Amino acid sequence: MNLVAALSALVIALGSSTAVPGHAHAAVDQRADWRAAWTAAPQRPSAGFEPNWSEEGFSGQSVRQVVRPTAGGSSLRIRLSNDYGPSPVRLTGATVALAGQGASVRPESVRHLTFGHAGSTSLPARGRLVSDPVRLDVRPFQPVAVTLDFAGTTGPATFHSQAYAGSFRARGDHRADTAAAAFTQMTHSWYYLSGLDVTGGAKTGDAVVAFGDSITDGFGSTADTDGRYPDELAERLAALGRPRPVLNAGIGGNLVLNDSAWYGDRSAARFGRDVLDQPGVGTVIVLEGVNDIGFSESDTPTYKPAPVVSAAELIAGYRRLIRQAHAKGVKVVGATLLPFKNSDHWGEHAAAVSDAVNQWIRTSGEYDAVVDLDRGMASPGDPDVLDPAYDSGDHLHPDDAGYTAMARLIADQL
């Protein structure tokens, strides 16, 4: 290992909060202006709401993950997270390619990735790693497949639970396969992969990070259709002639004030990693708090006992995020909580706190801009009820049409 690569690995192993890039490929400018084009917020291994591979990890297997960047470029790199792994994880090799149907990829586009010029590497315990750059022309909204091969046993895997996109697993080393035949297993989660950055290509505005819970993560949208509100927002901005990368930093069930084994670290604890460390970030949309309010009302067995949270406590949590963002020169857009009457999160206390919180978001002047989703997504017959035209069925999460409506409301404030 050369000196630059060794020092990079050492910095990551010592717990740097920012991913350290490997030594750049000779064909790519080391001073390249990197822009985050896609991201997923890392989580602890857990059972989740549907079957996933995080607790068992991988052993003698390849995992192919399809993501859709919201910015294009002539070169790319990937970011990997072992944030919740107590031991190093040996990565035998990795490829990136333009995705085809399912687990297939376009043959002419397959590129082998390196890390510090090496084809294999170790993800540091509780650390992160960035690949060397590789030449590959990627257009905005063009799906990209990243394939990771693990010849050994990883143990439980840092992952993102609710991807609403297929990831595929094969026995053995199939990272260079262009056909889908070997990838016979699928889940709707992402593993170790936490970011894809691009450089070159057409310039766009600063990145927008959507920060929040399951409504940002995309619960209620149709899987494998990229119908989450951040996807819709990126498409809306491009259609308006104001293209900007939009990065989804939502985690289903996430809370402003408390950590959870299933639902990720509390907002302030992950805000630096998931928002402020994203290359090229200029704006963050904060839409979170309904779980802090509603878990104490619901019968959800995954977060009990849930504390009863006051409006003042939630507002103090929002102020911490605003301070963190402004300290880095990042604009903060505050979104009011959507109507959720008749959902399992609703109750007398939840109603009172959500009203107080939404009024503060509208009138305090502490955000740089405000999107009033509470009023914009309400039923014409009852302002506390999510419009039935946008309801996925649980009276809490929007459906595909609802996420499109949210994107239109938010785009007007960017």
Query: Looking at residue 281, which CATH number applies to its domain?
Result: 3.40.50.1110
Do 137 and 249 lie in one domain? The reply is no
Do 234 and 369 lie in one domain? The reply is yes
The pLDDT value given to residue 71: 97
Q: Does residue 18 register a pLDDT over 90?
A: no
C-alpha 323 chain-centroid distance: 22
Do 175 and 39 lie in one domain? The reply is yes
Indicate the residue among 149, 171, 197 that finishes a domain: 197
Q: Identify whether the C-beta of residue 70 lies closer than 8 Å to the C-beta of residue 193.
A: no
| Dist. CA 246–CA 259, nearest whole Å | 25
Write the pLDDT tens digit of every residue in 310-327. Answer: 999 999 999 999 999 999
The pLDDT value given to residue 202: 83
* % of residues, the chain, pLDDT over 70: 92
Q: Mean per-residue pLDDT for 315-344?
A: 98
Q: Parallel, antiparallel, or unpaired: how do β-strands 246-250 and 207-212 relate?
A: parallel
Q: Does residue 362 register a pLDDT over 70?
A: yes
Write the pLDDT tens digit of every residue in 374-391. Answer: 999 999 999 999 999 999
Q: Does residue 12 register a pLDDT over 60?
A: no
Q: How confident is the model at residue 3 (pLDDT cuts 50, 70, 90)?
A: very low
Q: How confident is the model at residue 8 (pLDDT cuts 50, 70, 90)?
A: very low
Q: Mean per-residue pLDDT for 334-353?
A: 97
* Number of domains into which the chain is organized: 2
CA nearest neighbour of 210 among 373, 34, 332, 79:
332
Neighbours of 122 (CB within 10 A): 17
Residue type, 20: V
CA nearest neighbour of 274 among 38, 1, 6:
38
Q: How confident is the model at residue 14 (pLDDT cuts 50, 70, 90)?
A: very low
Give bridge partners of residue 128 from the DSSP assignment. 81
The pLDDT value given to residue 339: 98
CA nearest neighbour of 319 among 304, 332, 300, 328:
332
Token pair 């989703």 is found at 373
Q: Identify whether the C-beta of residue 71 lies closer than 8 Å to the C-beta of residue 37.
A: yes
Q: Parallel, antiparallel, or unpaired: how do β-strands 378-379 and 382-386 relate?
A: antiparallel
Write the pLDDT tens digit of every residue in 243-260. Answer: 999 999 999 999 999 999
H/E element holding 268?
helix 267-271
Domain span at residue 184 reads: 3-197
Neighbours of 352 (CB within 10 A): 13
Do 193 and 340 lie in one domain? The reply is no
Q: Mean per-residue pLDDT for 115-123?
A: 97
Q: How confident is the model at residue 300 (pLDDT cuts 50, 70, 90)?
A: confident
Q: Does residue 99 register a pLDDT over 50?
A: yes
| Dist. CA 389–CA 387, nearest whole Å | 5
H/E element holding 207?
strand 207-212
Judging by beta carbons within 10 Å of its beta carbon (0-12, 13-18, 19+), is residue 43 exposed, middle or buried? buried
Residue 360, φ and ψ in degrees, nearest 5: -65, -45
Do 181 and 208 lie in one domain? The reply is no
CA nearest neighbour of 83 among 212, 10, 191:
191
Q: How confident is the model at residue 220 (pLDDT cuts 50, 70, 90)?
A: very high
Q: Mean per-residue pLDDT for 256-265?
A: 95
Q: Identify whether the C-beta of residue 100 lies closer than 8 Å to the C-beta of residue 91.
A: no
Q: How confident is the model at residue 301 (pLDDT cuts 50, 70, 90)?
A: confident
Q: How confident is the model at residue 31 (pLDDT cuts 50, 70, 90)?
A: low
Q: Does residue 147 register a pLDDT over 90?
A: yes
Q: Mean per-residue pLDDT for 361-380?
A: 98
Q: What is the pTM of this model?
A: 0.92
Do 12 and 105 lie in one domain? The reply is yes
Is cis: bond before 305, omega within 30 of 0? yes
Q: How confident is the model at residue 75 (pLDDT cuts 50, 70, 90)?
A: very high
Indicate the residue among 145, 180, 197 that finishes a domain: 197
Q: Does residue 28 register a pLDDT over 80?
A: no
| Dist. CA 138–CA 125, nearest whole Å | 31
Q: Give 62-124 as a DSSP string.
A: EEEEEE--SS-EEEEEEEEE-TT-SS-EEE-EEEEEEB-STT-B-GGG-EE--BTTBS-EEEP
Do 136 and 223 lie in one domain? The reply is no
Do 338 and 407 lie in one domain? The reply is yes
Residue 375, φ and ψ in degrees, nearest 5: -80, -35
Do 98 and 216 lie in one domain? The reply is no
CA nearest neighbour of 240 among 372, 413, 38:
413
| Dist. CA 145–CA 149, nearest whole Å | 13
Please state, rounded to an integer, the average pLDDT across all residues of the chain.
92
Do 126 and 108 lie in one domain? The reply is yes
The pLDDT value given to residue 299: 80
Indicate the residue among 170, 197, 224 that finishes a domain: 197
CATH number for the domain harbouring residue 110: 2.60.120
Do 231 and 363 lie in one domain? The reply is yes
Q: How confident is the model at residue 162 (pLDDT cuts 50, 70, 90)?
A: very high
* DSSP state, residue 325: H
Q: 159 vs 1, which has greater pLDDT?
A: 159
Q: 215 vs 205, which has greater pLDDT?
A: 215
Q: Does residue 187 register a pLDDT over 80?
A: yes
| Dist. CA 288–CA 129, nearest whole Å | 29
Q: How confident is the model at residue 405 (pLDDT cuts 50, 70, 90)?
A: very high
Do 223 and 239 lie in one domain? The reply is yes
Q: 343 vs 204, which has greater pLDDT?
A: 343
b/e code 167-186 from CB counts within 10 Å (16+ = b): bbbbeebbbebbebebbeee
